[in-house]
Amino acid sequence: MATIDDFDEAKMNKQKKPANKPKKANPPESKEAAEDDYKPVPIWEQSGGKDQYLVQGADLKCIFCPTPKKLKLPMTHGEYIGQDTSHPLANMMDCIPVVNIPSFNPTCMNPAYMPYPPPCVPAIIPPWQNPFIETTIQGPSSITVKSFLVCALGGIIKPQNSGQPKLVRGK
């Protein structure tokens, strides 16, 4: 998974996608051994789950709703995680109800509206809270799995995962 440190390095190099970092290995004994031993490890596999950037498809969960919904980015910002453009990065302004943050309807269990809860269309108080201010995505700060949204209906919406691709290492 891409972490803050990994992406900042790639962004400084003016890359649209983070670069692969090589594994550290002992010097090979021959040229053939060098080719076999030197395999880059994608940076999104190196993070160990810390401070991952949010991308399209991240699972979001409101404290009043049992079912997570997916973060949507109908307009990308030109920065991506992974090998293609299917995982665009989100920034702190990607918090528009229904456009970016789907309705949690009909599963809302906000006690203020019981026993007849209305359809739950989030009333987001922008922007995302706790952004990562050192990295910007087309101006606004990036957001990570530690970021969250506040809803005017009393809810807190938190990411359950980053939405980044999970890759399996092959030989």
pLDDT digits (tens, 9 = 90+) for 61-79: 999 888 899 999 998 898 9
Whole-Å CA distances, 101 to 37, 39, 93: 44, 38, 11
Inter-CA distances, 78 with 15, 54, 115, 141, Å: 10, 14, 44, 14
Residues contacting 84, CB < 8 A, separation 6+ = none
For residue 113, name the pLDDT band (cuts at 50, 70, 90).
confident
28-32, 92-96, 128-132, range with the lowest pLDDT: 28-32
Percent with pLDDT over 70 in the chain: 67
- What percent of the chain clears pLDDT 90, i.e. is strictly above it? 41
Residue 7, pLDDT above cutoff 60: no
The phi, psi pair for 76, rounded to 5°, reads -85, 165
Burial, 102: exposed, middle or buried (Cβ in 10 Å; 0-12, 13-18, 19+)? Answer: middle
Give, as one character, the DSSP assignment of residue 101: B
Give the pTM. Answer: 0.69
